[in-house]
Amino acid sequence: MKPIITASEYVSESAGPRPPVLLDIRWQLGGPHGRPDYEAGHIPGAVFVDLEAELSGPAGSGGRHPLPRPETFGAAMRRAGVSHGTPVVVYDGGLGWAAARAWWLLRWAGHPDVRVLDGGLAAWTGELSTKVPTPDEGDFRPEPGALPLLDADAAAALARSGLLLDARAAERYRGDVEPIDRVGGHIPGAVSAPTVQNVAEDGRFLPAGSLASRFAALGADGDTEVGVYCGSGVSGAHEVLALEIAGHRAALYAGSWSEWSSDESRPVATGPNPS
């Protein structure tokens, strides 16, 4: 099953015998809370999910957006009406990063049928609603481990033995600037692969063949183990999704640079080259 869905496909499925649960994951790094925008207008039937409170644990030694406790995440998904046997579609209002975080968490936690609305809210041409739905309680119970996950040590090892992609902007990878974390640069051996290059100008993902060519040029040859990190495990999930479209199952280092750079004992590389 494709991990993305078009707006027209969603409309068709929502009128069918197994309509998907629709989740609105509007969020901006350092921006205002997404709930007011959701209440001002959302795709009809969508339930708002809070990335900071429900798709992340408290910031700390595990990074800015560590994984939430499974029980917290499960309760949020059940509140939103998610059941194990019901399809789920997620969207956000921006770059697709927040929606991809929800997609990755649900898939990692064992949900078999989750897709991201390609292009997000901007791809929706229908009317918007201000009605806040109250769905029936779902039955989803997380069973973590369905997608591969890296910790800091595993990410460091993969940068040596396989392919570790850095999904942040190239200037942060090089260490030219670092607006958020303690120090700029990248994990030694990691390859720069900015997430923004996975999508077209309209925010939709590039075709699978184009993404496959992009990742092949970066070293994903089909046999090499691939991992991804970013600043705090949000945009990295978007790159994992792009890799999935291209035919690669990649691991996510959820703590990412925010965790790595907070530990002064971890080495830091700078400049345009991996090492």
* Residues recognised as catalytic: 230
d(CA 29, CA 214): 26
- DSSP character string of 198-219: GB-TTSPBPPHHHHHHHHHHHT
Residue type, 270: T
d(CA 76, CA 68): 11
d(CA 130, CA 166): 38
Beta carbons of 68 and 54 less than 8 angstroms apart = yes
162 Cβ partners below 8 Å, 6+ apart?
Answer: 224, 225, 226, 227
Closest CA to 95 of 216, 198, 226, 244: 198
**Six token digits for residue 169:** 């902007």
Q: Which residue has the tokens 């040590």?
A: 153
Give the max Cα distance, the chain: 55
Q: Which residue has the tokens 């939103």?
A: 80
d(CA 123, CA 90): 13
